[in-house]
Amino acid sequence: MYDGDPQNGIDGQVHCLDNTTRIPPDQGMWIYDLCLATKPKSTLEIGMAYGFSSLFFLAAIAKNQQGEHTTIDPFQKSYWHGIGLNQAIEHSPTLADRSTFRFIEDRSDRAATDLAREKQSFDIVFVDGNHRYDDILVDFYLYAQLTNVGGHIIFDDLWMNSVKTAVEFIRTNRRDFREVISSQANVRVFQKIGEDKRKWHEFSAFKVFSPTGSTK
């Protein structure tokens, strides 16, 4: 896939890739190594596209011989031809006769409510879906509640002001998360260290990144 070779869709047709929608290989290996180091029981990614990131999570499950991976993407079949889904089905390991992969064809905000009602929780959440500021913050707000204490939330695409601004809110306002330094310049990682015990009126001003790159 990294060579840009056309891939099979879930529709049985072969499709060209756009060569930009992907995490770079070193970032994928960093996710893989994080999974090997922390041995998550349950991982989740928001935004699948061609499934590059999914494959690193699934490879880690195969290596760890434990874990389950859930991916959420409302446009997987309608826009991405089910290429990521096809890859994940082909490469997800079966452990103890059970599939280790689950696909949810829905928006992340809606899926979060279903997952909460199912009492699901996750050790690693990779946020790489809709990259608007409010979508990222809503993803964080909802999936922070589904993240186990000790678990990690990873934000991709730190080159974007929307992501940088959401990260600033978390740094400034969410004492239940601590930032973890990573080797990857394009991601930010937070570890959940407790429950959200803020008072109802708490708010701290945070840095907003403007389109020109200046801050307020």
- Bridge partners, residue 81, by sequence: none
Out of 34, 46, 60, 115, name the contact with ligand SAM by CB under 6 A.
46
Strands (DSSP E) contained in the chain are 7-8, 14-15, 42-46, 68-72, 94-95, 98-99, 101-104, 122-127, 147-156, 177-180, 187-192
* CB nearer ligand SAM, residue 22 or residue 192: 22
Q: What's the min distance (Å) between Cβ of 37 and ligand SAM?
A: 20
Out of 34, 35, 49, 127, name the contact with ligand SAM by CB under 6 A.
49
193, 153 in Cβ contact below 8 A?
no
Best CA proximity match to 209, nearest among 142, 147, 160: 160
Out of 86, 129, 170, 190, name the contact with ligand SAM by CB under 6 A.
129
Q: What's the min distance (Å) between Cβ of 109 and ligand SAM?
A: 7
Q: What's the min distance (Å) between Cβ of 90 and ligand SAM?
A: 15
Phi/psi zone of residue 96: left (φ > 0), alpha (ψ -120 to 50 degrees), beta? Answer: left
* CB nearer ligand SAM, residue 31 or residue 170: 31
Q: Which residues contact 68 (CB under 8 A, 6 or more apart)?
A: 41, 42, 43, 61, 100, 101, 102
Using the structure block, give the residue that is written with the tokens 């994080």. 34
> DSSP secondary-structure letter at 117?
H
Binders of ligand SAM among 70-109, rule CB under 6 A?
72-75, 79-80, 107-108
**Which residue of this chain has its Cβ atom nearest to ligand SAM in the complex?**
47
Applying CB under 6 A, the site for ligand SAM has a residue count of: 23
Q: Which two tokens stand for residue 148?
A: 């186990």
What is the distance between the alpha carbons of residues 36 and 203, in angstroms, rounded to a whole number? 36
Query: Is residue 128 part of the contact set for ligand SAM (CB under 6 A)?
Result: yes
Binding mask 148-177 for ligand SAM (x = CB under 6 A): ------------------------------
Query: Is residue 19 part of the contact set for ligand SAM (CB under 6 A)?
Result: no
Q: What's the min distance (Å) between Cβ of 161 and ligand SAM?
A: 16
What is the distance between the alpha carbons of residues 124 and 40, in angstroms, rounded to a whole number? 7
Out of 31, 34, 44, 48, name the contact with ligand SAM by CB under 6 A.
48
Binding residues for ligand SAM (CB under 6 A): 21-23, 45-53, 72-75, 79-80, 107-108, 128-130
